[in-house]
Structure 1
Amino acid sequence: MDSMITAAARALAAGDPLGALNRVALRDDAPALALRGIAMAQLGDFLRAKALVRRAARAFGPKEPLARARCVVAEAEIALASRDLGWPAKSLDTARATLDAHGDRVNAAYAQYLEARRLLLIGRLDEAECTLAEPHPVPLPPAIRAARELLVAGIAIRRLRTNVARAALARAEQAARHAGIPALMAEVENASLVLNTPAARLIARGEQRLLLLDDVEALLASEVLVIDARRYAVCAASTVVSLARRPVLFELARLLAQAWPEDVPRSTLIEQAFRTKHADESHRARLRVEVGRLRTMLGTLADVSATKQGFALAPRGTREIAVLTRPVEERHADMLAFLSDGESWSSSALALALGASQRTVQRALDSLAAAGKVQSFGRGRARRWVTQRVPGFTTTLLLPMPLPS
């Protein structure tokens, strides 16, 4: 490569996209196109960046597989940054194999990081961990080490392993300082704030208080019977009963837990669990059936006893009862959590990340837009959605995914 290409590449590696563009902005050869695309991606113009990287890949041609593979990795990173989660992951796997075969271990490791990052975004934590666990035959540059440690911390936070997350963030901070890239250091700093901002709200004996991630981890490891409204489950130490597919049962459990040690009138349970204001004998019969199902689901964790006025939750043994919920509760909270990461999302990417149909996601987005909580730009396939982050609270995206039923 000539000196201008080398200088532009070094500028990009140091986080200086404008310096790189000053050297290659007027050139249309394949290496210059690739560097221009990466620079535009760093500046946030993802559409132009994607077009430039694809032009570079075509310009390199089939006789330069290594350069084409690097372009594919760059395009994959642009797709992740623009939340195009439907981008073909097999292309990245093929590029990674090509990089390995040609001895480019560093870029192969970066392709591995991008693959794990995509898996984390769509909630496939086990696969992301397995991808990161693969060994690297060569030492990684500080910037890639920092990015990898951020990913390790993200997985640990989602799994509520705060000590592992803190250690990974400390390593990420050290690597980012060594790299000397301001944007990377800012990303590590923002990730560290998650551990020091409220992540959940605890409701127990009629009182409420905010919890940090450490407090949430300690609570779920204790003997307290926790009605977890974030994952729609009932937990006590190592025992977990998922009610994710039984919304009525979960609503009954939550209402009973919030009133504990008092009981809840039957009329209140019918009105809030069944969403009706006019109860009749059929509703009261259904309530008895649903309470019986809840009693069976809870098993040895707790009992649901009938009282003169209604029903009461009675924990087994000497357990306390608490409700764990999001710090700010509102409809479509999971979707707002994804949107509040500061990036622009398409409805198809949100559907993939949430495991919902695209039509369901679109209806929810329209509802949030009507309430002024999200806004969109672009049209058709280019339409993207954004929102503002809720100040002072970590997003629910960083909390564990719902438990399997």
Structure 2
Amino acid sequence: MDSLITAAARALAAGDPFGALNLVALREDAPALALRGIAMAQLGDLARAKLLLRKAARGFGPREAVARARCVVAEAEVALAARDLNGPAKTLEAARALLEAQGDRANAAHARYLEVRRLLLIGRLDEAERKLEGLDPAPFPPALRAAHELVVAGIAMRRLQARATRAALAKAERAARQAGIPALTAEVESAQRLLQAPAARRIARGGERPLRLAEVETLLASKALVVDACRRAVREGDKLVSLATRPVLFALAGALAEAWPGDVARETLLARAFGAKHADESHRARLRVEIGRLRAMLRPLAHLSATKQGFALAPRRAREVVLLAPPGEEAHAAVLAFLADGEAWSSSALALALGTSQRSVQRALDALAAEGKVQALGRARARRWMTPPLPAFTTALLLPAPLPGG
């Protein structure tokens, strides 16, 4: 490796893409193309970065498998930054295995962190934790140690473990300062701000107030019966009833929790669950059926009783019933939650992360665009969606991940 390549690599490692480009901008050999691709990625030109990295990978000879594997890892990082979650996960895994076999532990660890971050975005927390097992960040450079702690914090945040999140972010902050990379420090600071931002709203006895992540953790550990509108579940302590795939039942549970200790009129339940403005006997019959199903599912936690006006929810052991709602009233809150990271997402990536159809996501994006809440970049398959860079609420509670104990 010549001196210019070495100097450019050191500039990139220090977070100085312009310094790296000044050294290799006019070169077309494979190592220079790879470094130019990484520099363009750091500058935010992800499309150009992808092209350069692919060209570099083709330029390395058959005996330079490690260099090609590093290009694959760099391209995977670009894909993750562009929220291309449909990228070839098997290719990244193969590159990681080759790097480990060749003794390039730092780049192999970086590849593993990319795998874990992708799993976090699509809500597969258990698999993400398994991939972190046995990975000791201590021997790695400060930037990789910061990446490790950010991943640990991301898992803890999505599990609603505020104390563990705070501890991991403190370690990430120390490592980021040692690395001296401004972008990495900014990422850590952004994650720290999430702990102080409103994560949900507590609605009970006709009133509501915002809750931070630590307060949500305390609420879920309390003796209250919590109807969680962020994750569509009903829980009391470590007992959990998921209604994520039963939207009608959850709509009924949410209405009953919001009115507790009072009851809810049948007309109100029909409107909340079925959108029925003018209910007929068929609607009332369906309501009785769905109430019966909800009563059966919630039997371990609460019982539903008929009243003169409608129905009421009563906990079996809990002292109170609380509705935990997203921090803002929004018809497409889950879509906005993912877009709130400031990155540009494709509709297919959003559909994968949300576990729904691409057409449903597209309808939500069109509605949000009409309200000026999101904007589209590009056309056809290159179209990406994003919101302004300063999000109004944290995404941690809205990501598709199981509750603690779930």
What range is the shorter-chain TM-score in? over 0.9
CA–CA distance in structure 1, aligned partners of residues 72 and 355 of structure 2: 26
Greater Cα offset, 78-87 or 198-207: 78-87
Moved more, 169-178 or 256-265: 256-265
1: CA distance between counterparts of 2:57 and 2:391? 42
| Partner amino acid, structure 2, of 1:196 | Q
Q: Post-superposition shift, 1:250? A: 1.4
Deviations 1:283-338 (A, max 9, x none): 22322222222211111311111222222111113520110010112112111111
Q: Which runs of 4+ in 1 moved over 4 A?
A: 389-392, 396-400, 402-405
Taking the aligned partners of 1:70 and 1:220, their CA distance within structure 2 comes to 43
- Report if the CA contact (8 A) 1:157-1:399 is conserved: no
TM-score of the two chains, using structure 1 as the length reference: 0.96
* 2:183 aligned residue: 183
Q: Once the two structures are superposed, what CA deviation does each residue of 1:56-100 show, in whole Å capped at 9, x if it has no partner?
A: 111112121111111111111111111111110111111112111
* Structure 1 gap segments, 5+ residues each: none
Mapped contact 2:251–2:273 kept (Cα < 8 A): yes
Give distance in 2, aligned partners of 1:74 and 1:390: 27
2:373 paired residue number: 373
Partner residue in 1 for 2:77: 77
Structure 1, 49-58 or 9-18: larger mean CA deviation: 49-58
- Residues 357 and 267 of structure 1: CA distance in aligned 2, closer, same or farther (over 3 Å): closer
CA distance in 2, matches of 1:220, 1:320: 12
The CA distance in 1 between the partners of 2:212 and 2:13, in whole Å, is: 36
Deviations along 1:151-187, one digit per CA (max 9) or x if unpaired, are 1100100011111111110100010011111111111
Counterparts of 1:329 and 1:401, CA distance in 2: 21
- Change over 3 Å in CA distance of 1:76–1:399 after alignment to 2: closer
Output the amino acid matched with 2:33.
Answer: L
Separation in structure 1 between the aligned mates of residue 275 and residue 42 of structure 2, nearest angstrom: 49
Structure 1 residues 267 and 396: alpha-carbon distance in aligned structure 2, compared to 1, 3 A threshold: same
- 1:22 matched to which residue of 2? 22
- Between the two proteins, the alignment pairs up a number of residues equal to 405
Task: Tell me the CA shift for residue 214 of structure 1.
Answer: 0.7
Deviates further, 281-290 or 89-98: 281-290
- Name the structure 1 match of 2:314: 314
What amino acid sits opposite 1:330 in the alignment? Answer: E
Deviations along 1:211-244, whole A, 9 cap, x unmatched? 0111111111111011111111111001111112
What secondary structure, in the 3-state scheme, does the structure 2 residue paired with 1:343 have?
A: coil
Per-residue deviation, 1:391: 4.7
Q: Secondary structure at the match of 1:210?
A: strand
**What one-letter code is carried by the residue in structure 1 that aligns with 2:301?**
L
Partner AA of 1:193 in structure 2: R
State the partner residue of 1:122.
122
CA–CA distance in structure 1, aligned partners of residues 182 and 52 of structure 2: 25
Aligned amino acid, residue 256 of structure 1: L
C-alpha distance in 2 between matches for 1:397 and 1:53: 35
Q: Residues 168-247 of structure 1 correspond to what in structure 2 (within 5 A)? A: 168-247=168-247
Per-residue displacement from partner, 1:192-225 (whole Å, max 9, x unpaired)? 0111111000000111000011111111111101
Residue 383 of structure 1: aligned partner:
383
**Larger displacement relative to structure 2 (141-150 or 282-291):** 282-291
Q: Are the aligned partners of 1:30 and 1:57 in contact in 2 as well (CA < 8 Å)? A: yes
More displaced 10-residue stretch of structure 1: 385-394 or 199-208: 385-394
Correspondence for 1:162: 162
Once the two structures are overlaid, the 10-residue window that deviates more, 4-13 or 280-289, is 280-289
Equivalent pair of 1:244/1:402 in contact (CA under 8 Å): no
Name the aligned partner's letter for residue 196 of structure 2.
N
In structure 1, C-alpha distance between the alignment counterparts of 2:381 and 2:392, rounded to whole Å: 33
Give the secondary structure class of the aligned counterpart of 2:342. Answer: coil
Contact 1:146–1:172 under 8 Å retained in 2: yes
- Residue 290 (structure 1) aligned with residue 286 (structure 2): no
Per the alignment, in what secondary structure is the counterpart of residue 234 of structure 1? strand
Shift of 1:363: 2.2
State whether residues 225 and 318 of structure 2, in contact with CA within 8 Å, keep that contact through their aligned partners in structure 1. no
Give the aligned partner of residue 149 of structure 1: 149
Taking a change above 3 Å as real, the CA distance of residues 17 and 390 of structure 1, as seen in their structure-2 partners, is closer
Q: Which residue of 1 aligns with 2:340?
A: 340
TM normalised by structure 2 equals 0.96
Distance in 1 (CA, whole Å) between partners of 2:101 and 2:138 is: 14
Match of 1:359 in 2: 359
Question: Considering only aligned residues, what root-mean-square deviation do their CA atoms show, in Å?
Answer: 1.8
Shift of 1:137: 9.0
Q: Residues 234 and 390 (structure 1 numbering): CA distance in 2 closer, same or farther, change over 3 Å?
A: farther
Partner of 1:86: 86
The equivalent residue for 1:305 is 305
Instruction: Tell me by how many angstroms 1:281 deviates.
Output: 2.5
CA distance in 1, matches of 2:75, 2:337: 26
* Structure 2: tracts of 5 or more residues without a match: none
Q: Match for 1:113: what amino acid?
A: Y
CA distance in 2, matches of 1:10, 1:224: 54
